[in-house]
Amino acid sequence: MGQEEGFIGCWDVSREKVLEIQDLSKHFGGVKAVDNFSMEVFNGEIVGLIGPNGAGKTTLINVVTGFLTPDKGRVVFLGEDVTGLPPHKINSRGMARTFQLIKPFANLRVLDAIAVGALSKSRGKKEAYEKATEIVRLLGLKDPYRVCSTLTIVEEKLVELGRALATRPKLLLIDELAAGLRPHEIVDMRKIITAIRKEYDMSMVVVEHVMPLVMGISDRVVVMSSGAKIAEGTPEEIAKDPKVIAAYLGERRRV
């Protein structure tokens, strides 16, 4: 009995909440982009957030990371209410993101761009570049001295991921990494995300409307449609859920 309690205790510690989204709403005029949405992310897990185009996934990420202020609801990160804080303050508390429509530092070299991310968590420029070099190696970027405007879409996405990683986040929100990539490139991305998970101690939210990437790597999947959560569960449960199939997979079957 005592042993069982101990086991439950351990399990509870690992299930510490990293992110708590409570009744969040964001309206644009009459459009309810995010509508009373709640979800949680626990320590160390990868949560897939899926939904058809226009479901409000990117708006949700923008509200959570401070790029938009919510009309209602709260965002609690590591036990602290961060609702309405500017993006740079939210990042410095340990939440990083990538952008669906990539926002490259076009005139910087790959290594510089990643060092920008490392700057705020380093004592000096030298330390930032050491960290950046490490990340360049982890992501397998070939030429760190190339200017970002000359990169391919895959390399640009890797740099975007790398500079977010360089801020040493506790939680990384990856917004549609697979968008614009070909199937074999998506497989590569999946490998990289798995490698990142092995290397760093953090939680991730992987936002996609392409199913394969999310289904393969997520511990848990949340399905969003028209701004609201319509299902939540393991990837296997989600794949079988009739509501999800109606809102989402059904749409794909028709194509």
Partner 1 sequence: MDIDVRALLSRRINIAIIAGAVLLLLLPLILRHEYWIYVFTIGYYYAILALTWNIMAGYLRRVSFAHMALAAIGAYTSTLTIINFKIPLVLGMFLGMVVGALSSLFIGYLSLRLRGVYFTLSTLAFAEIFRIVVTVEYQYTRGSLGLEAPKLLGNILTYVPYYYVALAFLGAVTILTHLMLNSGLGLRVKAVGDSEEAAEALGINSARIKVFTFLYSSAIASLAGAFYGHLIGLVSPEICGFEQLALVIAMSVVGGLGTIPGPIIGALLIELLAEYLRGFGIYRYLILAALIIVTIRFFRQGIFGWVKKRVLLGVGM
**For binding to partner 1 (CB under 8 A), which residues are involved?**
65, 67, 86-88, 91-92, 96-97, 99, 103-108, 112-113, 115-117, 119-121, 124-125, 128, 145, 163-164, 166-167
Residues 190 and 195: their CA atoms lie apart, in Å, by 9
Cβ proximity to partner 1: between 39 and 113 the closer is 113
Cβ proximity to partner 1: between 113 and 139 the closer is 113
DSSP codes, 87-136: HHHHHHTTEEE--SS----TTSBHHHHHHHHHHTTSSSHHHHHHHHHHHH
Report the run of H or E that residue 196 belongs to, with start and end. Answer: helix 183-199
Cβ proximity to partner 1: between 88 and 184 the closer is 88
Q: Is residue 18 within 8 Å of 94, Cβ to Cβ?
A: no
Number of CB atoms found within 10 A of residue 51's CB: 25
Residues 62 and 58: their CA atoms lie apart, in Å, by 6
At its nearest, how many Å lie between partner 1 and the CB of residue 104?
7
At its nearest, how many Å lie between partner 1 and the CB of residue 67?
7
At its nearest, how many Å lie between partner 1 and the CB of residue 8?
37
Cβ proximity to partner 1: between 88 and 253 the closer is 88
At its nearest, how many Å lie between partner 1 and the CB of residue 125?
4
At its nearest, how many Å lie between partner 1 and the CB of residue 22?
23
At its nearest, how many Å lie between partner 1 and the CB of residue 143?
9
Q: At a CB cut-off of 8 Å and minimum separation 6, what does 172 contact?
A: 95, 96, 97, 98, 164, 165, 202, 203, 204, 205
Cβ proximity to partner 1: between 60 and 128 the closer is 128
Cβ proximity to partner 1: between 110 and 186 the closer is 110
* Cα distances (angstroms) measured from residue 153 to each of 99, 156, 183: 13, 5, 14
